[in-house]
Amino acid sequence: MSGESKKYALLTLDPLRRFDCIVFDFDGTLVDSNEIKRRAYFEAAAALGDVTECVSQVLNECTGDRFQLLREIARRAQSAAASGLPSVEDLVSHYTRYCEENIRICPAVAGAEGALLRFAQLGIPMFINSATPTAPLRALLVLRGWTRYFRDALGSPMTKVDILNGIQRSEDVPFSRILMVGDGEDDRLAARKVGCAFAGVVLEKPRFQGEADLVLSDLAVLPDFVAGSKLENIEQ
């Protein structure tokens, strides 16, 4: 599917589809920042020398947070380099600064700001559930002026499943009335594991493999879906 917005017809309201709490991933879901985060690894690792190929290999072969991936990049780079290279902590700091400087001004996903405002006006609790470490995640929300929308923003080292479980306990609503909105397979799997509905955001090509309850490239339709409107894709 292309990054163009899908067109939907709003059909009848179904109260059984009403959601009482919305949980968003951040990168690639609310902000178009996935490529920024990828570039940040190359920017941070440049201090290790000419390691472009090494960074590409690690990003293609490994999973983990910024600490784990940069540690692996540094390990591979240092195996063929002299001493005196920057520490992993220095690399992580560089990565975090690059992300903050660029994600604070990168475009929001289409329809995101309008949807957040609408949900806030309706008083629907919203949370962030991200793989980004909690402290940098909260700093980015401050920089974008979005803290007013969310009851909390949580990230690693907690897992996405753990975060969903914590939100369910704090809000005291059944999982069936919580909607997880994300762009990745980790978002979809976390939602399915606890029994949440999943809305999958696709900006260029799908980053999740399984079925979603709603697939969208423009979050403008999300408030109607949350309110119980059935959506029919009318794109030919």
pLDDT, one tens digit per residue, over 97-129 is: 999 999 999 999 999 999 999 999 989 999 999
pTM: 0.85
Question: Residue 216 gets which letter from DSSP?
Answer: E
Read off the pLDDT band of 6 (50, 70, 90).
low
pLDDT, one tens digit per residue, over 133-168 is: 999 999 999 999 999 999 999 999 999 999 999 999
1 occurs within a structural domain: no
Residue-level pLDDT at 81: 47
Look at residue 13 and tell me whether its pLDDT is greater than 60. no
**Domain residues for 117?**
8-32+108-233
Read off the pLDDT band of 7 (50, 70, 90).
very low
Show which of 103, 124, 140 is a domain's final residue: 103
Residue-level pLDDT at 227: 82
pLDDT, one tens digit per residue, over 204-233 is: 889 999 899 999 999 999 998 888 766 555
Query: Does 112 lie in the same domain as 228?
Result: yes
27 occurs within a structural domain: yes
Of 27, 4, 6, 2, the C-alpha closest to 224 is: 6
pLDDT, average across residues 46-59: 93
Is residue 196 within 8 A of residue 222, CB to CB? The reply is: no
Residue-level pLDDT at 16: 46
Query: Does 57 lie in the same domain as 21?
Result: no
Show which of 85, 103, 121 is a domain's final residue: 103
pLDDT, one tens digit per residue, over 178-201 is: 999 999 999 999 999 999 999 999
Query: Does 70 lie in the same domain as 116?
Result: no
Name residues whose C-beta falls within 8 Å of residue 126's C-beta, 6 or more positions apart in sequence. Answer: 21, 22, 23, 24, 116, 119, 120, 149, 150, 151
Handedness of CA 137, 139, 145, 151 (dihedral sign): positive
Show which of 103, 131, 154 is a domain's final residue: 103
Residue 6 token pair: 């899908």
Residue-level pLDDT at 85: 75
Query: Does 184 lie in the same domain as 116?
Result: yes
Residue-level pLDDT at 116: 97
Is residue 25 within 8 A of residue 187, CB to CB? The reply is: yes
Read off the pLDDT band of 83 (50, 70, 90).
low
In which element (H, E) is residue 230 found? strand 229-233
The total number of structural domains in the chain stands at 2
